[in-house]
Amino acid sequence: MERLQKVIAKSGYSSRRKAEELIAKGKVTVNGETVTEMGTKVKKGDVIQIDGKTIEFENKVYYVLYKPKGMISSASDELGRPCVVDLFNEIEERVYPVGRLDYDSTGLLFMTNDGDFANLIMHPSSHLEKVYDITVRGIVTGETLHQLEKGIYLDGAKTLPCKIKVTAKNMEHKNTRMLIRLVEGKNRQVRRMFEAVGHDLIRLHRAACGGINLKGMTPGEYRILKPQEVKDLRRLAEEAKEKNKNFRQKRGK
């Protein structure tokens, strides 16, 4: 027997987190009975329905997408704005984004119908190294960069160390372009980190994640991840999870 939210995620209907939201809202039934208790277990043969529709299991698929500017990292949007899933209308499986990028941000985004894979990649303690190409307002000083690299406090918690490399300083327009590597993925973390030290973000592009990059791809284009790439991402996420756990223990968290 398995937890209901895990089974829903495995079906490809949604991520495990979204499945938990659906259960809490009373939208899920098992053998005709509404289930709202988290952790409810189901067995093979049980009929699971969401909003009256029986879920079916799909083949697991994994994609890397070059998210263009002006799209929501979601399956739907109440304001009717275009969503990244709209780019996958030609495939049979229903995929959803792993994590998110803001509406105006661009770059690498994984798409899948494998809830376990998505949960592993998005888990707060197992984030993969991500590389962002960003531009911020103002000329960033070496002292500020050092402060950010060591870690700053956001919402009472210190960010993990990161690496930042300045690639250009535009003295005329007063902005700084940088590459930042970090292993965390808190909500809008890069934007909030720089805002905390007085530099508003102008542009953000996710160039790579877990060793996967967008080489040869154009905005709006996607490709299937190779089996070895999926395997490597799982391994790296597990390793990062353990590494971050040990680091926090040493730091007294």
Among residues 77, 102, 116, 133, the one annotated as catalytic is 102
pLDDT block averages, 10 residues each, the chain of length 253:
88 84 95 93 92 86 97 89 94 90 96 89 82 98 96 92 96 97 88 96 96 96 97 89 71 62
Please state whether beta strands 157-158 and 96-98 pair in parallel, antiparallel, or not at all (unpaired).
unpaired
Is 77 a known active-site residue? no
pTM above 0.75, yes or no: yes
What pLDDT is recorded for position 248?
Answer: 66
